[in-house]
Amino acid sequence: MSRRSPVALLGELIRIPSVNPEGDPGVQEPGEARLAEFLESYLRSLGAEAWLQPVLPGRPNVVARFPSDRPGKPRLLLAPHTDTVSVAGMTIDPFCGRESEGKIWGRGASDTKGPMAAMLTALTRLRDRLPTLSHEIWFAGLMGEESGQHGAKALAASEQFDFVIAGEPTDLKTVHAHKGSLWITLEAQGKAVHASAPERGENAIYAMSEAIERIRSVVIPQLDQLTHPLLGRTTLSVGTIRGGSKTNIVPDHCEATIDIRLVPGVEPLPIVEMIQMAASGLNLTYQSSKPLYTDPAHPLIRKLSSLGASPVGAPWFCDAAVFSANCMPSVALGPGSIAQAHTADEWISVIELEAGAEFFEKFLLSV
């Protein structure tokens, strides 16, 4: 197949590991640098001005601006992220990029190298037409979306765009609203003693358990009242809990992490304070990602809708919200389903991928 085939291109993208290093990546050399370098070369071959934007050590964005036949056009950015989640526990070769059973398999096939391949294929097919479009076309491969969104924050701080499409597997629907996230880490400290005399120690797991029970009984009912007409309620889930070192030692440390999904209009700080009150005496740290809301009446959202990408909401978060928070109308859109994202046998169907490439080609020509 030629490089104009999204299937061949996606296979190539998957075979370049770009695992986010946070947590247990499941590879010895995580990070997005190799993929960013590949994309820089590929975009230059299309005639774009392309460069690597340093963000974190060894983890750059790749940014490209395509030629324009006149100055002053509004800027349209296509922005998939380059990082994937961990490959630990996958049941297939995570970097095979093979096609079989009408699917392309491997980490990132759905989230979000599939949408990236669809976008790049459209840009490849239209390379000679891009300068004459009504918008100046930009592309960015953003590092770190899966944790911290540092890539999106760096680009949003350095450039301004008139409309942003974050590449995500949305079943080719226009996600113009999504929840934000608030990730909280709680730490309980205790006193370790021999388990035969537990009364002499302080059990950190007990302290954490009591805090979690207060969060369930006091905080969650309050969060249930924080709702949005499109996205529903604010949710809370305790994701991990780790404590102790050995069965016969009273644990002197316990850590738990909490995932809270915020609807638009809900700020993280009051919820952090609610959690701190419920977990009195425990150490608390947090990081948050903003929710997204872009008016579905925006002309380009209407254009996307006219091409079949109807506006919808989503419970997850992505880089679109970073640009939106910096006064840039943004949506998330791409082929593939979020149901296949982060799975042990991640895949995207060939039909969906090819439809995505055709959709982005039609959209670019329509604007």
pLDDT digits (tens, 9 = 90+) for 189-198: 999 999 999 9
Check if the beta carbon of residue 208 is closer than 8 Å to that of residue 256: yes
Q: What is the mean pLDDT of the chain?
A: 96
| Amino acid 186: pLDDT | 98
Instruction: Give the pLDDT score at 301.
Output: 98
What's the pLDDT tens digit per position in 164-187? 999 999 999 999 999 999 999 999
The whole-angstrom separation of Cα 280 and Cα 11 is 50
Annotated catalytic residues are 83, 145
Per-residue confidence band for 2, with pLDDT thresholds at 50, 70 and 90: very low
| 45-61 mean pLDDT | 97
- Span 180-289: which CATH code? 3.30.70.360
% residues pLDDT > 90 (the chain)? 97
Q: Show the tokens assigned to 54.
A: 């340093």
List Cα–Cα distances, 28 to 17, 19, 164, in angstroms: 11, 10, 33
pLDDT tens column, 229-279: 999 999 999 999 999 999 999 999 999 999 999 999 999 999 999 999 999
CB atoms within 10 A of CB 119: 28
Please name which of 292, 295, 323, 290 lies closest in space to residue 142, comparing C-alpha atoms.
Answer: 323
Same fold, 6-178+291-366 and 180-289: no
Fold of 6-178+291-366: Aminopeptidase (3.40.630)
249's enclosing H/E stretch is: none
Give the burial string for 83-114 (b: 16+ CB within 10 Å, else e): bbbbbeebebebbbbbbeeebbbbbbbbbbbb
Closest to 32 (Cα-Cα) out of 180, 150, 164, 202 = 150
Q: What would the pLDDT profile of 11-35 be if each residue is shown by its tens digit?
A: 999 999 999 999 899 999 999 999 9
Q: Which of these, 106, 84, 109, lies nearest to 95 by C-alpha position?
A: 106
Contacts of 206 by beta carbon, 8 Å cutoff, 6+ apart? 190
Distances (CA, A) of 314 to 56, 130, 238, 267, 318: 29, 31, 21, 18, 10
Residues 274-312: tens digit of each pLDDT: 999 999 999 999 999 889 999 999 999 999 999 999 999
Residue spans per domain, the chain: 6-178+291-366, 180-289
